[in-house]
Structure 1
Amino acid sequence: MPDTPATRPTRFRTGGLSPRKPTHFSYVPDAEARAGLARTLDLLGIRSLTFTGNIAPSGRDEMTLTGTLTATVDQACVVTLAPVPARISEEVRRRYVAGLPTPEGDEAEMPGDDTTEPMPEVIDLDEVVTEAMALALPLYPRAPGATLGQIVHAEPGVAPLTDDDLKPFAGLAGLAEKLADKGPKDA
């Protein structure tokens, strides 16, 4: 009997994966799972989402997950909060290495390959999709025609402070012009 989206596994025990051949996956979450992911990522909705690929051995103590994530989502416009549709199509790659030391302390140096992670006991496709979507989403979605206006506030009788007033070097060009017009003083 072929797998349906509801019966396909989304979690793979790394100890149970084949050490010789890739394990293929096709993750198509149902409406309830998409709604949960939309809440997690602060989206208005996820209309479609597909994540397909494989987890393959790539050395004695390594596994590599490669896949393609495609999704159609609705984000809130940063100006008007109106729905802004976005289409995501991302290649996802994670390299899991057994025995990879975990960074200690408050600060850690980033490795040159940011796809390398310590080998987990379970590879959870929900977690991989959540991380990949968070990184792929547009940061500041804006609805067509939405613009940021300028609001100026001040107490009665006080001149309001504008953005131009906060640019300390903006007036230097005018000052340099005035000085050039005066010319050198005759002594």
Structure 2
Amino acid sequence: MAPRDEILHLARLPRGSEAAFDLRPEAEARAALAAELGLIGLRKLRFAGRLVPEGKRDWRLEAELGATVVQPCVVTTEPVTTRLDEPVLRRYLAEMPEPEGADEVEMPEDDTAEPLPATLDLGAVMAEALALALPLYPRAPGSELGEAAFAPPGVAPLTDEDAKPLAGLAALRDRLKDAGEPDPEG
């Protein structure tokens, strides 16, 4: 459950002014969030910004997310430390357009717009922004993936060179040259 200062009741906020916030979770909360996101560590985390009224009932959240995260390298699993500094923008609209059609829903052009909630959990917005900002494939300096070849016993594995679209034609041309056939290219 989020602390009280992280939950904002939007209907109770004064419409004539901004509402500033500055979240800096303690070590225990950072450790819980790190575990939830599959991180090795979350050394620093700050989410600071403001809620600005827009129109009669809408709100705009403008914030900066700062974090130092430690993730496992995708190649070696060694710890990789990354500093994140990301702007965050969300728009909470009282009259959010409904998606057309029930079978398929396309991503809206404005991906910052969301339906206006009764309460806004700033901790949840912070966690979502952090999850979206994380590097997808963190790599330790100097780590290389190399080539992996897998095949059942007794079968030659397919290599990257074999998978090239014209590799088979080049091999055929080379065999024809070796057999003394004239070069089809000319």
TM-score (norm 2): 0.85
TM-align CA RMSD:
2.6
1:64–1:155: structure 2 CA closer, same or farther, 3 Å change rule? closer
- SS in structure 1 opposite 2:5? coil
Q: Is the 8 A contact 2:162 2:168 kept in 1?
A: no
Runs of 5+ unmatched residues, structure 1: 1-5
1:17–1:162: structure 2 CA closer, same or farther, 3 Å change rule? same
Question: Is 1:108 matched with 2:108?
Answer: no
Question: Is 1:166 matched with 2:163?
Answer: yes
Match of 1:24 in 2: 20
Distance 2:116 2:30 in 1: 27
> How far apart are 1:16 and its partner, in Å?
1.2
Runs of 5+ unmatched residues, structure 2: none
Q: Is the 8 A contact 2:70 2:82 kept in 1?
A: yes
> How far apart are 1:18 and its partner, in Å?
1.2
Q: Which 4+ stretches in 1 moved above 6 angstroms?
A: 176-179
1:183–1:92: structure 2 CA closer, same or farther, 3 Å change rule? closer
1:154–1:173: structure 2 CA closer, same or farther, 3 Å change rule? closer
The alignment covers a number of residue pairs equal to 180
> How far apart are 1:172 and its partner, in Å?
3.7
TM-score (norm 1): 0.84
Match of 2:139 in 1: 142
Question: Is 1:98 matched with 2:99?
Answer: no
Distance 1:31 1:184 in 2: 69
Match of 1:131 in 2: 128
Identity of aligned residues (%): 50
Distance 1:58 1:184 in 2: 69
Spell out, residue by residue over 1:69-110, the C-alpha distance to the aligned partner (whole angstroms, 9 max, x if none).
Answer: 110010110011111000110111111010214436232122
Distance 1:182 1:109 in 2: 53
